[in-house]
Structure 1
Amino acid sequence: MSGERKRSASERDRDRDHEGYESDEERYEGGTDAKRRKVRSGSSGEEEPEGYEEAEGYGDGGGDGDGDGPPVLTEAEIAALDIDEVFAALDERDDGVGGETEDQSGLEFRRDALELLTPVTWITSVLAADSVLGWLGTFPGVVTDLSATVTARRAQLAAPPVPPLTPEQRQAVWTHVAAHITVPARALGDGCEYLAHAVCEAVDGQFPDVSRARLAKLWVVADSGILHPPEKWGHHVAPVLDCADGEFVLDPLLSPHTPLARDAWLAQVRGAVQAARAPELRRAWEPLGCPRQAGFEPGTKVAIGRTDREQIDACKR
């Protein structure tokens, strides 16, 4: 990519979301009943989100408000709010003065969690459930209901248990992938996340037990375009299988004829770059966006819109 870092799907999605925003005007525009997105609009007046009038009563009987602003909500009160009530509470605090309120971080966390987990059905692997539960555990008091929902989802996905794949089972998965996946010409320069996601969807469609228990994505992320010269990637990703004889990567771009052992794949991606400058991140296969740090990052679970879907499907036969 001529020395430029490959832009992740989440970065491209964010750029599309911000097209056309005006900096001095604000309103709410509904997406689904479960989600409201802040966008820019005419300054003659603010449109309230649908359901704003019904979102009264949050914080009744609680909080330590001093009369100069909205009452400070307890974690238990925040945990009882639905998405419209959370947005209403945040809106009221945005309209006030005096800086961030004590409950604002809890409200923002619950908003993010509700947006991520409405619905929860996108979680189709044990690894995704564990990752989300770890993230929810950073602010547990405001998401008790959501933690219970994801815990129940994990229990469904974990049974029956799936042992690591044998070499024969790995070959069966690879044979299916090779027959149903094609590598677009542009993938060498950009779009590895689309190819990886297409491979994961192919595995999930034919081997759902494998995808729920033994499939992940392995990312290598660098600060600049230093990976796999001469292409000079900023990141690379491919699906990885948990096998009885180790982890094996399914990367039709770098190895079109056979799965690669994890260390061999990492060596191809990094070249002479030291691991400290290009760490690997093992993540659940469902999110499309590129991770940047340890732990689950909600921003990597981007909505797969029409453009992303076209790019993914272009990798399928």
Structure 2
Amino acid sequence: MDTTSIVTRTRELLVEHYVFPDVAAQLDAFLAGRTDHYATATTPEELGKLVTEDLQSVNGDRHLRLKHHVDEVPEGDDAASEHQIRREFDLAMGGVPGLRRLTGGVAHLELAPYLFPVGMCADVVAAAFTLVSRAEALIIDLRRNRGGDPHTVALVCGHLLAEPTHLNTMYHREDESYHQFWSSPVVPGARFDPAKPVYVLTSAATFSAAEELSYDLQQLKRATIVGETTGGGAHPRRGFTVHPHLEATIPTARAINPVSGTNWELVGVRPDIAVPADEALDRAHREALAELDRRGGDSPSLAEARRALARLCC
């Protein structure tokens, strides 16, 4: 393992690509003086941990890492991420590992472990929303979701919103451009009725694009967030293979929400209803049943919701 070459290349990528050039300059100087420290690493995994600690020492950016991979990853930009995504896609049922009907006509839809790229998962998302469109209320479970594609965030939001809506803007350092993300006016499959209640479950492990989905829906007041404050990663990143088992992940952009004017970096997405993650589903279900009861109606599902709510409250 050529530690010097690995660290040197990581520093070069940091200076060239990191979304905050001033922070990149500070980190470059800091890493340059840590040669002896890195020389203590005897494995790529150890080196990754040491460098990652230093990379996150200035502003705590959790997307900024020298990430270790057990399996060898191919050369090329984002090659490690693409390799991991392809491996996990089928294992996770295309990103929808769980979908079921709860009592009272409430649907529980889990999206995990990633919001996979649209080209991979659009048909899976469409099928899932076609099924849950018949529910009276929807619980989207992001407690095990570690991130993914902002275009997939826009796709999911398109299934929940009545009209095209500005969700997020990304500022890109490389060309100093701004890229807006909007929900789509047309979605594959069925749209979930925009008048029906939506709840999103979060945990401390919810990260990156999954946080954006939570944050966008919260800012638009389209969903109630239930669970824990999320991890706090709002800077989309690129990955660069610097060793067969090490990937330098460098954030190259930052999110700007059109409602708040800011994002969830470091602070995370704060839930509307704060409960431990393992209690979030039960709490959201109770909230959904209570909301359906308040709205009234005489459908079989709503009658079932009232009976379920009565049992839960006793």
Normalising by structure 2, what TM-score?
Answer: 0.23
More strand by share: 2
